[in-house]
């Protein structure tokens, strides 16, 4: 608090102005290199979107490239202004008022301090405020005297780019990346002269595919509907936009019982599915005891007959001398004798 209070009473120092101008130049160069690298990456992303016919998303992303181009262009002019003021800093310090030949450069730098992402320009503006007064700074921030560089004012403005320049950028990106791209033909009420200045309209979703996750977009569009100017979008025929199924059926074929058109007139995609066969109503009979007996053709006859001579030997563990039927059905299992070990006291063996 106290430091800012005493800072207001400090006088202009040219030894602080020159280092801040030099650091602003270096900052502009670093920012320019970063923005240029980011633009190259974004161009590849837009080329991929154009290859996938996602024109609306590509048009939105290309605005960032246009803005970065404008910012870099304005930074180049500001770098030259900082170089000029750095070389004539002694002249500024010797004059009580701002020299006429430097007034446009000083006003441009003050106006750009709040719009360019260069922190050092704020320090330069503070030094100019101490030298020329607060009223001079306020007039420069509002550009009341129309002294700001017109190119810098245009490139650092927040106005979106026109639809014409957006389309030109998209065509150039598609050409430089060898993408065969044709713009969508969207109905517009603007003339060619108005398109040159009007911004890109909000997206309508015409480039968004139907059924993107399942890939069943053809279920929502009618065959032969108009789509793109060349080649057509998903579900469209040779040239045309997609048409909903309900609208296509109602406009082409009447499916009512009074119509003269038969089933042959209805496209196969709109035929109703055949009825399901009726379910059986009779219940299955429960299995009998004879069905539970296993009689394999290769098994001996005495294994299948209860009470046979070898029934005890082949009827399972503990079948007994008299024999039991061989019941190996998965539904139930006949109890066997001797399957559990007799209880023996603790410590007694065998």
Query: What span, in angstroms and rounded, lies between the C-alpha atoms of 152 and 78?
Result: 8
Task: Spell 250-262 as b/e; 16+ CB within 10 A means b.
Answer: eeeeeeeeeeeee
Query: What span, in angstroms and rounded, lies between the C-alpha atoms of 152 and 150?
Result: 5
For every one of its 350 residues, what pLDDT tens digit does the chain have, with 9 covering 90 and above? Answer: 444 444 544 688 989 999 999 999 999 999 999 999 999 999 999 999 999 888 889 999 999 999 999 999 999 999 999 999 999 999 999 998 999 999 999 999 999 999 999 999 999 999 999 999 999 999 999 999 899 999 999 999 988 998 889 999 999 999 999 988 887 665 555 555 555 556 666 777 776 777 777 677 777 765 554 444 444 444 444 444 444 444 444 444 444 444 444 444 545 555 555 665 666 555 555 555 555 554 455 545 554 444 444 444 444 444 445 455 555 555 555 555 555 565 566 665 65
Q: Residue 197: its pLDDT value, please?
A: 57
Query: What span, in angstroms and rounded, lies between the C-alpha atoms of 92 and 73?
Result: 27
CB contact set of 175 (below 8 Å; sequence gap of 6+) = none
**Is the alpha carbon torsion for 172, 173, 177, 180 positive or negative?**
negative
Q: Could you tell me the residue ranges of all domains in the chain?
A: 14-154
CB half-sphere exposure, 220, CA atoms < 13 A: 13
Q: Residue 117: its pLDDT value, please?
A: 92
**DSSP symbol at 149:** -
DSSP-derived 3-state class of residue 171: helix
Q: Residue 107: its pLDDT value, please?
A: 95
Q: Residue 344: its pLDDT value, please?
A: 61
Query: What span, in angstroms and rounded, lies between the C-alpha atoms of 35 and 113?
Result: 19
Q: Residue 333: its pLDDT value, please?
A: 56
What superfamily does domain 14-154 belong to in CATH?
Answer: Vacuolar protein sorting-associated protein Ist1 (1.20.1260.60)
DSSP-derived 3-state class of residue 236: strand
Q: Residue 139: its pLDDT value, please?
A: 93
Q: Residue 303: its pLDDT value, please?
A: 47
């Amino acid at each position: 608090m106290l430091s800012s209070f005493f800072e207001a009473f400090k006088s202009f120092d040219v030894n602080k102005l020159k280092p801040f101008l030099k650091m602003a130049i270096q900052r502009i160069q670093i920012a320019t290199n970063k923005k240029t690298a980011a633009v190259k990456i974004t161009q590849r992303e837009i080329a991929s979107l154009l290859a996938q016919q996602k024109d609306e998303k590509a048009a939105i992303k290309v605005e960032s490239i246009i803005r970065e181009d404008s910012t870099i262009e304005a930074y180049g002019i500001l770098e030259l202004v900082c170089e000029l003021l750095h070389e004539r800093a002694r002249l500024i310090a010797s004059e009580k008022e701002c020299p006429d030949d430097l007034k446009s450069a000083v006003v441009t730098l003050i106006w750009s301090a709040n719009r360019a992402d260069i922190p050092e320009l704020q320090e330069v503006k503070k030094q100019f405020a101490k030298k020329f007064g607060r009223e001079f700074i306020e007039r420069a921030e509002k550009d009341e005297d129309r002294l700001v560089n017109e190119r810098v004012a245009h490139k650092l403005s927040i106005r979106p780019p026109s639809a014409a320049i957006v389309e030109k950028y998209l065509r150039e990106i598609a050409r430089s990346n060898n993408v065969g791209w044709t713009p969508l033909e969207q109905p517009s009420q603007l003339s060619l002269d108005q398109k040159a200045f009007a911004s890109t309209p909000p997206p309508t979703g015409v480039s968004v595919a139907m059924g993107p996750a399942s890939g069943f977009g053809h279920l929502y569009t009618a065959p032969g509907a108009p789509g793109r100017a060349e080649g057509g979008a998903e579900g469209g025929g040779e040239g045309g936009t997609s048409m909903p199924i309900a609208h296509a059926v109602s406009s082409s074929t009447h499916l009512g019982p009074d119509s003269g058109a038969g089933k042959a007139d209805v496209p196969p995609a709109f035929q109703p599915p055949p009825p399901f066969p009726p379910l059986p109503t009779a219940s299955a009979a429960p299995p009998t005891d004879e069905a539970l007996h296993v009689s394999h053709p290769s098994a001996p006859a005495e294994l299948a007959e209860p009470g046979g001579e070898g029934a005890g030997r082949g009827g399972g563990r503990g079948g007994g001398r008299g024999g039991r039927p061989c019941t190996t059905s998965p539904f139930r299992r006949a109890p066997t004798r001797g399957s559990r070990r007799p209880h023996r006291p603790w410590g007694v063996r065998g």
